[in-house]
Amino acid sequence: MDVPKLLYKKILYPTDLSDTGRGAFEHAASLSNIYNAELTVFHVVEEETELSPQLMGYMNEALWEEIKERDSEEATRMLIERKQGVHRGVL
Determine the 3-state secondary structure of 6 from DSSP.
coil
Whether 32 is covered by a domain: the verdict is yes
> Which CATH number characterizes residue 17's domain?
3.40.50.620
> What per-residue confidence (pLDDT) applies to 6?
84
- Residue 21 is predicted with a pLDDT of 79
67 belongs to a structural domain: yes
pTM for the predicted model, two decimal places: 0.49
| Residue 26 placed within a domain | yes
> How is 43-54 classified by DSSP, letter by letter?
-------S--GG
Q: What is the mean pLDDT of residues 63-84?
A: 79
Mean pLDDT of 22-44: 89
Q: Domain tally for the chain? A: 1
Question: Is pLDDT above 90 for 86?
Answer: no
Q: Is the dihedral of CA 85, 31, 28, 38 positive or negative?
A: positive
Question: Which residue range(s) make up the domain with 66?
Answer: 10-87
Tell me whether residue 33 is in a domain.
yes
